[in-house]
């Protein structure tokens, strides 16, 4: 990062953000030709913060996360800037990339059952993970680190747990093991793709508590992709809302939830039964655009309760509408201008 950067980082963190995406576009080959999955995504994950990347299925949240560690399928067309811990992720050689994924940015997937090797003990997978990040680690030291990390993520009797196989422990424990596997590498950034969706409600809360605890005590930067705004409401510092391959709103989590500045975020919050005392829910009519549909204006306009004529014609950019709070909603931007 150079001194020419315009947006100065918030006070206290004198360094560049842990992760920065700028105008990232991703194209994948589908049955109907090339489809745009990401249509110019820009957001930042400040160091030491928890950022939630929220959106419905097809919004591109997982793609954005996978693009950040170059885990997209073969043949994906990527453009734009992706920087993680000051490194240009798109320019890494395959050798550097392996180091980057082992040490700097670790990914935790939705389904712990399919993320672990079913035929190898939990311990041996932890040891492998630790040694891949730090080649100078002896087997014994790696084992010690693994036991310590299992204890850190709240696994009871960690020594004995080293020898069990993934099928012998519950989903919640398994997700803790996944987090431990990431932690043994002492990564700077933890990328979690729907880390609690496959888990029960009470277990979900335990895992989120653990992530917050790790963030607070060890300063690990966390990015969580989620479809459920309410689940991450309690733990995220910032919220990035995506719709149809673009960021539509980005701001401090509590502020976005209490006073959303995009009609999509607002509609989504309205639709959740947790926020509805009335006898009927307020759904968002229609459905999100397909990835092969190209709308000239705001992608949400056809379903939007506040859409105006100009919304369908012109694509709104992400603009500041409040302190640290950006929105890509044209009527909201116009309202803000009128107030000034």
Q: Which residues pair with residue 61 across a beta bridge?
A: none
Structure tokens at 235: 């733990």
Q: Is 173 in the site for other proteins (CB under 8 A)?
A: yes
124 burial via Cβ count (<10 Å: 0-12, 13-18, 19+): middle
Helices (H), 184-277: 201-218, 229-233, 253-258, 263-271
Judged by CB under 8 A, the chain residues 204 through 233 that form the site for other proteins are 204-206, 208-209, 212, 227-230, 233
Out of 2, 140, 280, 309, point to the residue binding other proteins (CB under 8 A): 280
CB of 320 to other proteins, least distance (A): 14
Q: Which stretch, 22-30, 110-118, 127-135, 268-276, contacts other proteins (CB under 8 A)? A: 268-276
Q: Which stretch, 1-9, 134-142, 144-152, 273-281, contacts other proteins (CB under 8 A)? A: 273-281
Out of 10, 170, 216, 317, point to the residue binding other proteins (CB under 8 A): 170
Q: Which stretch, 64-72, 111-119, 134-142, 251-259, contacts other proteins (CB under 8 A)? A: 251-259
Q: Is 270 in the site for other proteins (CB under 8 A)?
A: yes
**Enclosing H/E stretch for 238:** strand 238-243
Out of 75, 273, 309, 340, point to the residue binding other proteins (CB under 8 A): 273
Rounded CA-CA distance 81/69 in Å is 12
**Residue whose structure tokens are 């960021």:** 247
SS3 content of the chain, % helix, strand, coil (to 5): 40, 20, 40
Torsion angle of C-alpha atoms 80, 30, 295, 43, degrees rounded to 10: -30
Q: Which residues pair with residue 24 across a beta bridge?
A: 41
184 versus 207: smaller Cβ distance to other proteins: 207
Out of 132, 151, 282, 319, point to the residue binding other proteins (CB under 8 A): 282
Structure tokens at 301: 């306009």
Q: Which stretch, 14-22, 94-102, 213-221, 330-338, contacts other proteins (CB under 8 A)? A: 330-338
283 versus 296: smaller Cβ distance to other proteins: 283
Rounded CA-CA distance 247/174 in Å is 32
145 versus 256: smaller Cβ distance to other proteins: 256
What are residue 42's phi and psi, to 5 degrees? Answer: -130, 125
CB of 16 to other proteins, least distance (A): 29
Q: Is 310 in the site for other proteins (CB under 8 A)?
A: no
Q: Which of 281, 241, 279 is nearest to 257 (CA)?
A: 241
Q: Which residues contact 151 (CB under 8 A, 6 or more apart)?
A: 158
Contacting residues toward other proteins, per CB under 8 A: 56-57, 170-173, 200-206, 208-209, 212, 227-230, 233-235, 257-263, 266-277, 279-285, 287-288, 305-306, 327, 329, 331-332, 335
């Amino acid at each position: 990062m150079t001194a020419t950067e315009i947006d100065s980082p918030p006070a206290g963190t004198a360094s560049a953000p842990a992760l920065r995406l700028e105008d990232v576009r991703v194209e994948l080959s589908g049955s109907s030709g090339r489809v745009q999955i990401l249509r110019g995504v820009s957001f930042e994950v400040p160091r030491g913060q928890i950022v939630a990347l929220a959106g419905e299925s097809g919004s591109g949240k997982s793609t954005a996360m996978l693009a950040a560690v170059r885990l997209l399928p073969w043949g994906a067309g990527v453009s734009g800037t992706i920087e993680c811990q000051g490194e240009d992720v798109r320019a890494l050689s395959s050798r550097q990339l392996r180091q980057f994924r082992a040490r700097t940015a670790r990914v935790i997937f939705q389904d712990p059952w399919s993320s672990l090797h079913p035929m190898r003990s939990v311990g041996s997978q932890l040891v492998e993970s630790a040694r891949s990040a730090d080649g100078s680690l002896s087997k014994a030291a790696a084992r010690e680190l693994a036991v310590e990390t299992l204890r850190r993520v709240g696994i009871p009797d960690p020594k004995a747990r080293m020898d069990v196989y993934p099928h012998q422990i519950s989903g919640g424990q398994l997700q803790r093991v996944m987090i431990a596997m990431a932690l043994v590498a002492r990564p700077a950034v933890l990328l979690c793709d729907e880390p609690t969706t496959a888990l029960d409600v009470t277990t979900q809360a335990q895992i989120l508590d653990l992530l917050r605890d790790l963030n607070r005590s060890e300063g690990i930067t966390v990015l969580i992709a989620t479809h459920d705004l309410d689940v991450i409401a309690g733990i995220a510092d910032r919220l990035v809302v995506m719709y149809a391959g673009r960021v539509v709103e980005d701001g401090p989590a509590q502020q976005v939830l209490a006073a959303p500045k995009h009609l999509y975020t607002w509609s989504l919050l309205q639709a959740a039964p947790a926020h509805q005392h009335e006898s009927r829910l307020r759904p968002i009519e229609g459905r999100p655009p397909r990835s092969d549909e190209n709308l000239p204006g705001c992608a949400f306009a056809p379903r939007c309760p506040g859409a105006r004529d100009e919304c369908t014609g012109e694509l709104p950019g992400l603009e500041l509408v409040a302190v640290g709070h950006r929105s890509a909603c044209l009527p909201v931007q116009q309202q803000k201008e009128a107030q000034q």
